[in-house]
Amino acid sequence: MESIGIGIAGFGTVGSGVYKNLEKNGSLLRERTGASFSVRKVAVKNPGKKREVELPAGVVTPDWRDLVADPEIRVVVELMGGVEEPLQLFREAILAGKIVVTGNKALLAEHGHEIFQLANSKNVPLFYEAAVAGGIPIIQAVRHAFVGNRIESMQGILNGTSNYILTRMQDTGMDFAPALAEAQELGYAEADPALDINGWDAAHKAIILASLAYGKWIPSSQVYVQGIEGVTAYDIRFADMLGYKIKLIASIRAHEDGRIAVRVCPTLIPHEHVLASVSGVFNAIWLRGDVVGESLFYGRGAGQDPTSSSVIADLAQAAAVLGRGGNDRGFAAHDLYGDCLPMAESLSPYYLRLAVEDRPGVLAQIAGILANHDIGIASVMQSQGLIDGKLPLILMLHQARHGKMQEALAEISSLRCVLAEPRLFHVEPTKKV
């Protein structure tokens, strides 16, 4: 029975959960993996701080370099948060030949190419199940269960905070600001919720999934990201009347010409779509492979226990590698797919809500601009009565190129009859049940 020394860098919610659950289920892990895990050191910024989980004397250190320098530590678990300091830890740990387990999505999304290049050159395995969708084992699924598939597409709800806010807006009719305040009060949103509501938390996860599916790291500058701040109670209500729910959807697709498209934005999802039923803080990923067909992954996307469950699963994988030797590559680069599809060329149907003057000829002006940009109108809905002194006009638009849509939107916004900033959201046309 092998004892594997591990070091944990960062002892916040997830780090303390990993320690607690290793203690709780240590005997179960020994039976299933043939190895035991011994936490040799825990690096924290403030060693004197009172913590939820008490650590044995001599385990705590203020410097993560002590983990790298300790010859008895064979696996380093990085749960520090941030980017620059964890990147330095990765570099030094890899050069020291230590396996690294992480949940740091931002680090991998921004520096994945460099990190895995270095790891492969040194034959050091990296594991990062906890970086995407908390306790949902999507990384293992894409890397191993679907290794014989070309991944045609993935769509996911990858941020529990934004999904909770949109769910509450749907269920109660409240607007964005009070729904966000409620999420913060309940602990589902941070005091500074920017990365959750502006879409970038989900975008970092989408970049990681795209890299696994398509064998290359997508620059964040080539990912289209739109947050949920612009979604109003009116949009939720109008979408529901049209047969849709609004969700923050991460969409990852390989097009027929091999180019890859990655976007994260509020999207109208048909009521019948499997993702439309995902509510509250839950996450889900809907995946289509050319061999397996459709698969759905659903579960808690954050929190101490779900995320620590993924970290511990990676520790078990690390133990297997240490036991049998070799290198379980965390990422395999290949050239089977092309570059990113520019967002301007991407096709989608759209939902467009305008606040306009209540007079004849307004719709004709707007329809004329759309026609000039080869954008067809599928349906028109006009609210009964004014809202804030303005007439809401909702247009469901046929599939159009994003670039053309933006050009048309700029012209429509400049019309004197348009009284407020338009709201434009993508629409998911395919009803996946």
Residues annotated catalytic, as ranges: 205
SS3 of the chain: helix, strand, coil, percent, to 5: 40, 25, 35
Identify whether the C-beta of residue 288 lies closer than 8 Å to the C-beta of residue 151: yes
Between CA 176 and CA 233 the distance in angstroms is: 7
Between CA 308 and CA 135 the distance in angstroms is: 8
Q: How many CB atoms lie within 10 A of CB 153?
A: 17
Between CA 132 and CA 205 the distance in angstroms is: 5
Q: Which of 77, 53, 51, 49 is CA-nearest to residue 64?
A: 77
Identify whether the C-beta of residue 429 lies closer than 8 Å to the C-beta of residue 399: yes
Query: Phi-psi bin for 385: left (phi > 0), alpha (psi -120 to 50), beta?
Result: left
The DSSP-derived string for 227-288 is: -STT--HHHHHHHHHTTEEEEEEEEEEE-TTS-EEEEEEEEEEETTSGGGG--TTEEEEEEE
Residues ≥6 apart with Cβ < 8 Å to 241: 381
Between CA 301 and CA 157 the distance in angstroms is: 9
Between CA 226 and CA 204 the distance in angstroms is: 13
C-alpha distances (whole Å) from 260 to each of 47, 165, 257, 345 are 45, 30, 9, 12
Collapsing DSSP to helix, strand or coil, 194 comes out as helix
Q: Residue count of the chain, please give it.
A: 433
Please report, in angstroms and rounded to a whole number, the separation of the first and last CA atoms in the chain: 47
